[in-house]
Chains A and B, each alone.
Chain A
Amino acid sequence: GNSVTQMEGPVTLSEEAFLTINCTYTATGYPSLFWYVQYPGEGLQLLLKATKADDKGSNKGFEATYRKETTSFHLEKGSVQVSDSAVYFCALSDGGSQGNLIFGKGTKLSVKP
């Protein structure tokens, strides 16, 4: 079945460091891929998405490229801020009739000043 694997956390970085959170997926067909972010005490928010191979999603300085050949959707940011501290979830939608999402386990990011 479909699944998402993302790197285990927690990840601790200093402000202005480069961030990569790895995400790989297993899916039949052509899923859409998402990154969600959950700030402390809040619900998950869509950070970015890509719906087909080679698409690049970007938002708030974060980027991820849909790589079909490596079945990956790694999240990157060139210079993290303390305010980026949150839990990040990679997810896929198998494009079924209800747009069901399959999530990775989440990666907690802590950015120190």
Chain B
Amino acid sequence: GAVVSQHPSWVICKSGTSVKIECRSLDFQATTMFWYRQFPKQSLMLMATSNEGSKATYEQGVEKDKFLINHASLTLSTLTVTSAHPEDSSFYICSASRDRGYNEQFFGPGTRLTVL
């Protein structure tokens, strides 16, 4: 149980285009989903936290107009990178929690984004 999937697992896009990444909790209802970004040999950096039906809370320094997060249901959250640029290339990881993260977050396998 507690499986989280991400789609796609990797994506290559041209500069200026938008890319949508999906995060799904497959066998539980996720009250809260988290989006992280990971640079090579760096730790995971929290980008934003989203509660189902509410606007996402973004961490300081993360552009909310560039990284659009939607958490429309208890099993699906999406991250859209708008007008992507090469500096947005990274590994994006989502996690989901049944209880707003108090006890455990369950992580997806990540999505590798490369912007040409």
Contact = CB atoms under 8 A, between A and B. Distances in A.
Nearest to A101: B105
A41, A43, A89, A102 interface centre (most CB from chain B within 10 Å): A43
Interface in B7-36: 32, 34
A97 B31 CA distance: 13
B75 interface: no
Interface stretch (A54-62, A63-71, A103-111): A103-111
B101 A99 contact: yes
Contacts, number: 54
Interface residues of B, number: 25
Given A41-B109, A43-B107, A105-B41, A99 B100 contact: yes
Contacts of B101: 93, 98-101
B108 A43 contact: yes
A84 to B, nearest CB: 19
Contacts of A44: 44, 93, 95, 107
B49 interface: yes
Interface residues of A, number: 20
A98 B46 CA distance: 12
Nearest to A8: B41
6 contacts: A41-B109, A43-B106, A43-B107, A44-B44, A89-B43, A101-B44
Interface of A: 4, 36, 41-46, 89, 93, 97-106
Interface of B: 4, 6, 32, 34, 41-44, 46, 49, 57, 93, 95, 97, 100-110
Given A99-B97, A103-B43, 10 more contacts: A41-B109, A43-B6, A43-B95, A98-B49, A98-B101, A99-B101, A101-B34, A101-B46, A101-B101, A105-B42
